[in-house]
Amino acid sequence: MNTETWKKPLYFELDKVETLAEEEATITLDYTPPVILPENAELVTHNLLAAYEAEPVVQPNVAKTSQSRRIISPLWLLVASLSLLLVLMLLVDTIHFIAQQYSSSLFVGTLFLGLILTIVGTTLLSSWRAYQNLQVLRTVSKLQQEGRRLMETDGYGNAIPYLNKIAQFYNHRPEIKTRLEYFYLNLNDSYHDRELCGLFSTNVMKEIDQQAYSIVVQRSKETALMVMISQIALLDTVLTLWRNTRMIKDIATLYGGRPGFFGSISLMSIVLQNLIYADVSEMVAESVAEIFGGSVLSVMSAQAAQGLGSGVLTARLGLHAIQACRPLPFSAEEKPGLKDIRREIVASLKGVFKIKEAEKVST
Amino acid sequence: MNKWFNEKVNRTVEKQVKLAVTGLSRSGKTVFITSLVHQLLHGLSGSHLPFFKMVSGGRLRATKIMPQPDMHVPSFRYDRAIEQLCGDPPTWPQPTNGITEIRLAIRYLSDNVLLKHLSPVNTLYIDIIDYPGEWLLDLPLLELSYEQWSEQITDACKIEPRLSLSKKWRTFLEGIDIASVVDVPIIRQAATLYTDFLHQCKEQYRLSLLQPGRFTMPGDDLKGAPLLEFCPLLEIPQNIYNENSFFAEMKRRYESYKKHVVKKFYQEQFSSFDRQIVLADVLRTFNTGYASFVDMRDAINMVLKSFHYGKSGLINRLFGLKIDKILFAATKADHVTPEQLPNLETFLHQMLAKSQNSAVFEGVHTETLALAAVKCTQAAHTTFQSKKISCIKGVPIDSNKPIALFPGEVPVTVPMPDEWVEERFHFLEFKPPRLANVHGGSLPHIRLDRAFEFLLGDKF
What is the residue type of A171? N
pLDDT of residue B22: 85
> Each residue of A75-111: pLDDT tens digit?
778 878 887 887 787 778 778 888 888 888 888 889 8
Which of B196-205, B218-227, B395-404, B444-453 has the lowest average pLDDT?
B218-227
Q: Where are the domains of chain B?
A: 2-134+267-375+436-459, 139-265, 378-419
Q: Is A256 left (phi over 0), alpha (psi -120 to 50) or beta?
A: left
CATH code linked to domain B2-134+267-375+436-459: 3.40.50.300
Asked if the Cβ–Cβ distance from B50 to A8 is below 8 Å, we say no
B50 has pLDDT over 70: yes
Q: Which chain A residues are closer than 8 Å to B431 by Cβ?
A: 31
pTM of the model: 0.76
Mean per-residue pLDDT of chain B: 83
Of A10, A31, A199, the CB nearest to B405: A10
Q: Which residue of A has its CA nearest to B371?
A: A190
Say if A59 is an interface residue toward chain B (CB within 8 Å): no
Nearest to A24 by CA among B377, B348, B28: B377
pLDDT of residue A57: 39
> Each residue of A254-304: pLDDT tens digit?
887 766 556 666 677 776 676 676 666 666 666 666 665 555 555 667 777
CA distances from A317 to A216, A274, A345, B402 (A): 9, 9, 15, 57
Which of B58-67, B218-227, B326-335, B410-419 has the lowest average pLDDT?
B218-227
Nearest to A289 by CA among A302, A279, A280, A307: A302
Q: How far is A9 from chain B (nearest CA, A)?
A: 4
Q: Which chain A residues are closer than 8 Å to B440 by Cβ?
A: none
Which residues in chain A show pLDDT less than 70? 1-8, 20-72, 123, 126-127, 129-139, 231-235, 258-266, 271-272, 274-275, 277-300, 352-363
Which of A38-42, A300-304, B298-302, B325-329 has the lowest average pLDDT?
A38-42
Query: Averaged over B312-341, what is the pLDDT?
Result: 75
- Percentage of chain B with pLDDT > 70? 91
Nearest to A219 by CA among A183, A251, A267: A251
Best B283, B377, B378, B442 residue to mutate vs chain A (most A CBs within 10 Å): B378
Please, is A125 exposed, middle or buried when counting C-beta atoms within 10 Å of its C-beta (0-12, 13-18, 19+)? Answer: exposed
Q: Would the CA dihedral through A159, A163, A164, A165 be positive or negative?
A: positive
Q: How far is B35 from chain A (nearest CA, A)?
A: 15
Q: Which chain B residues are closer than 8 Å to A156 by Cβ?
A: 338-339, 341, 390
Asked if the Cβ–Cβ distance from B50 to A199 is below 8 Å, we say yes
> Each residue of B70-115: pLDDT tens digit?
888 888 888 888 888 887 778 898 888 888 889 999 998 887 777 7
pLDDT of residue B451: 94
CA gap A322, B169 in Å, rounded:
74
CA gap B96, B100 in Å, rounded:
9
Nearest to B244 by CA among B187, B174, B171: B187
Best B53, B381, B410, B421 residue to mutate vs chain A (most A CBs within 10 Å): B381
Of A10, A28, A199, the CB nearest to B406: A10
Task: Lay out the sheet containing B275-280: strands in order across.
Answer: B60-66, B100-109, B121-130, B16-23, B275-280, B325-330, B365-370
ipTM: 0.78
Query: Averaged over B169-173, what is the pLDDT?
Result: 88
B171 has pLDDT over 80: yes
